[in-house]
Amino acid sequence: MDILSSVCGLSADPVEPRRTGSLKAFHSAGRGFWSHIPDADWNSWQWQLRNRITTLKGLRTLMPTLTPEEEAGVQLANTKLAMAITPYFFNLIDPADERCPIRIQVIPRLEETLTAPWELTDPCGEDEHSPVPGLVHRYPDRVLFLVTDRCAAYCRYCTRSRLVSNATGYDFHPEFDRQIDYIARTPAIRDVLLSGGDPFLLSDEKLECLLSRLRAIPHVEFLRIGTRIPLFLPQRITPELCAMLRQFHPLFISVHSNHPRELTTEARDALGRLADAGIPLGNQSVLLRGVNDDEAVMKDHLQKLMMCRVRPYYVYQCDLISGSSHLRSSVRRGLEIMQSLRGHTTGYAVPQFVIDAPGGGGKVPINPDYVLSHNNDRVVFRNFEGKVFEYPENADGAPTAISEPSSAHPELA
């Protein structure tokens, strides 16, 4: 019995199944194999990056329970998307669970070498919408600015695996001059989204320089950064970084978390520092098989994000990136999960489910159907409980004549 129950004499009424209820509790990632490391090193983001797990030998030493599929996957990974896992994030993996939702996001598997005929290396057609290298201009008023080809750790379903982790053949331009010049001479661009790779891998100085140059362009109204670093490397979110960022408002940040276990006390504190710097935080998840394609896990994750002051923004249907079929869930599953959320929990906690259209159509919202019929005099729709309602209106949207409501709609009388 918890304290509230014993004080108020209420009987415990577990609404959530215990399996997922416990996922909402905040825990530290702990030290794991690195308990002998001085705090100053462990808490240093540079130390975390230097000590990332990047080789089969290193991973085997830490995790004797690697499966043959993982061993083969790791061996092949560095020919495609590299493996890299920060010690901090590694500690979230359950070595006893082959299907651990953290493990399958970052440890390569042999299945990555299987490519379905409909899978692509540039599934969202970004390269075709690139007016200068490192810039994607798909929508009229905003651009995606790829600032680096590196991340703190590599997600195995990465939609940009063609260019990140030093992928061969990608012509990366770290000087930013052409990208900034394009933005400066394109007045329609009022929103610049920095992504990559992870922009927070740049030094504070370099990032400040980039943000200042963008802020100096009069038509750039709004800046945002897409990053997974608060989850992979919360040590990077230093007070100095936050103090630097707050000069550039309005600045929003979209983080990328997929499972409640990623929301540790360390991640919560890092997100809190960003929020305290006045930065509105959103989250983008990818619907992943065995990670979050489950109603209860998804709801726990979204509610836990809210406890970290993060508003869920998008849930993406997994892009058709080659070698990702083992991690992909279905659109049908996504719709079932969305239906389980709307009305059943806080509206702020309900993200928009989207498919980034294969080939380059942009993000398209995919919603459960609530409208059952819509004709010239009414909309018939259902609510989250399945109850049916009607909303009378004229075809042109004009109000129904109030003097004779029963003759206009005798069946409603």
Ligand X SMILES: *Cc1c(COP(=O)(O)O)cnc(C)c1O
Cβ atoms of residues 17 and 294 within 8 Å: no
Give residues 32-71 in contact with ligand X (rule: CB under 6 A). Answer: none
Contacts of 224 (CB under 8 A, 6+ apart): 191, 192, 193, 194, 251, 252, 253, 254
Reported as type and span, the H/E element at residue 225 is strand 222-227
Distances (CA, A) of 395 to 325, 370, 390, 409, 413: 45, 19, 14, 13, 20
Give the interface size with ligand X as a residue count (CB under 6 A). Answer: 7
CA distance 318 to 291: 12
Could you confirm whether 299 is annotated as catalytic?
no
Please name the residue that has the structure tokens 């029963």: 406
200 versus 252: smaller Cβ distance to ligand X: 252
Cβ atoms of residues 113 and 166 within 8 Å: no
Of the residues 228, 304, 319, 328, which is catalytic?
319
CA distance 141 to 67: 47
Span from 136-144, 165-173, 293-301, 367-375 in contact with ligand X (CB under 6 A): 136-144
Which of 205, 8, 293, 232 shows the shortest CA–CA distance to 106?
Answer: 232
Shortest CB 133 distance to ligand X, Å: 14
93 contacts ligand X (rule: CB under 6 A) = no
Of the residues 363, 377, 378, 382, which is catalytic?
363
Could you confirm whether 31 is annotated as catalytic?
no
Shortest CB 191 distance to ligand X, Å: 7
Of the residues 160, 162, 224, 299, which is catalytic?
160
103 versus 142: smaller Cβ distance to ligand X: 142
Largest CA distance in the chain: 82
Of the residues 109, 138, 162, 299, which is catalytic?
138
Shortest CB 313 distance to ligand X, Å: 7
294 versus 356: smaller Cβ distance to ligand X: 356
144 versus 277: smaller Cβ distance to ligand X: 144
Could you confirm whether 139 is annotated as catalytic?
yes
Shortest CB 136 distance to ligand X, Å: 4
Could you confirm whether 151 is annotated as catalytic?
yes
Cβ atoms of residues 92 and 264 within 8 Å: yes
Supply the angle between the helices 295-307 and 331-341 in degrees, to the nearest 10.
Answer: 60
Of the residues 158, 242, 308, 318, which is catalytic?
158
47 versus 222: smaller Cβ distance to ligand X: 222
Q: What tokens were used for 185?
A: 């001479």
Reported as type and span, the H/E element at residue 90 is helix 87-90
Among 106, 107, 144, 255, binds ligand X (CB under 6 A): 144
CB atoms within 10 A of CB 398: 8
Shortest CB 190 distance to ligand X, Å: 11
DSSP string, 152-205: SS--TT-TTTTTSTT-TT----TT-HHHHHHHHT-TT--EEEEESS-GGGS-HH
Could you confirm whether 209 is annotated as catalytic?
no
146 versus 233: smaller Cβ distance to ligand X: 146
Give residues 353-382 in contact with ligand X (rule: CB under 6 A). Answer: 363
Which of 306, 304, 358 shows the shortest CA–CA distance to 331?
Answer: 358
136 contacts ligand X (rule: CB under 6 A) = yes
Among 26, 34, 42, 139, binds ligand X (CB under 6 A): 139
CA distance 271 to 234: 8
Please tell me the total number of residues recorded for the chain in this structure.
413
Shortest CB 130 distance to ligand X, Å: 9
Shortest CB 212 distance to ligand X, Å: 22
Could you confirm whether 160 is annotated as catalytic?
yes
100 versus 194: smaller Cβ distance to ligand X: 194
Cβ atoms of residues 135 and 182 within 8 Å: yes
193 contacts ligand X (rule: CB under 6 A) = yes
Shortest CB 219 distance to ligand X, Å: 16
91 versus 258: smaller Cβ distance to ligand X: 258
Span from 134-142, 207-215, 229-237, 377-385 in contact with ligand X (CB under 6 A): 134-142
Could you confirm whether 185 is annotated as catalytic?
no
Among 103, 138, 236, 261, binds ligand X (CB under 6 A): 138
Could you confirm whether 348 is annotated as catalytic?
no
Interface residue list for ligand X (CB under 6 A): 136, 138-139, 142, 144, 193, 363
Which positions are annotated as active-site residues?
Answer: 138-139, 142, 151, 155, 158, 160, 319, 356, 363
